[in-house]
Amino acid sequence: MMKRIEAIEVVAQEAESQGALVICNIGFPSRELYAVHDSPANFYMLGSMGLASSIGLGLALATERRVLALDGDGAVLMNLGTLATIADQAPENYLLVILDNGCYGSTGCQPTCTCRKADLAEIAKGAGIADVKTATTPEELRTAVRGVGAVVARVDERNADVPVIALTPKEIKDRFIEECARPSP
């Protein structure tokens, strides 16, 4: 199975070639993104679990830039209403990428409902998101990340051994806002 840090690297490479802004989920996903591809175009969440997809939606509605939100199964389950709101607004510059490892990876890998019965791709479709793709390999993910709507990528539950993010919240925000203000590359 694809490691999450591999999936994050694919998304980061695609984000760079698309000139996209990236909102990244709290915990190890942000640390892994910071380790593989730090950029002012990355917004690393340090709190407010569950809101990556909402921050991404708000940003996509505010800018003409392309926006990717990098979220997790536990976080999306915490804010399922977000899928209905994303479907309702359906901005054409927005893609929600859910890296589904079936557990709360940053707190000791306690299982989430997706490791048993819940299917986030079907939930996203049911919420009304028109284009929902699934990916299990880096190649499938790379293709899917070029679309809009949502992608659910199954990844391994392990975290990579990566350092904490050496930026203050204000540093993360200030350079991100500066990047957001630039026109689409």
Partner 1 sequence: MRPGISVYKGMKRAGIDLVTSVPCINLQDLLGLVESDPAIIHVPVTREEEGAGICAGAYMGGKKPALMMQNSGLGNCINALASLDELYELPLLMIISHRGGEGETIVGQVPMGRRTPRLLDAMEIPWFAPSPAEAEETVARAWEEAEAGGRPAAVLFDIEFWMSE
Instruction: Give the interface with partner 1 as residue ranges (CB under 8 A).
Output: 23, 43, 45-48, 50-63, 65, 79, 81-82, 84-85, 88-89, 169-170, 172-173, 176-177, 180-181
> How near is the Cβ of 81 to partner 1 at its closest, in Å?
3
Tokens of 137: 């390999």
**SS3 at position 48:** coil
Tokens of 105: 């990876």
* Residue 1 or 177 having the CB closest to partner 1: 177
Q: Please tell me the distance from the alpha carbon of residue 95 to that of residue 89, in angstroms, as a whole number.
A: 12
* Residue 5 or 76 having the CB closest to partner 1: 76
> How near is the Cβ of 166 to partner 1 at its closest, in Å?
16
* Residue 85 or 136 having the CB closest to partner 1: 85
* Residue 84 or 162 having the CB closest to partner 1: 84
> How near is the Cβ of 161 to partner 1 at its closest, in Å?
25
> How near is the Cβ of 54 to partner 1 at its closest, in Å?
3
> How near is the Cβ of 173 to partner 1 at its closest, in Å?
4
Closest CA to 68 of 124, 137, 141, 146: 146
* Residue 6 or 71 having the CB closest to partner 1: 71
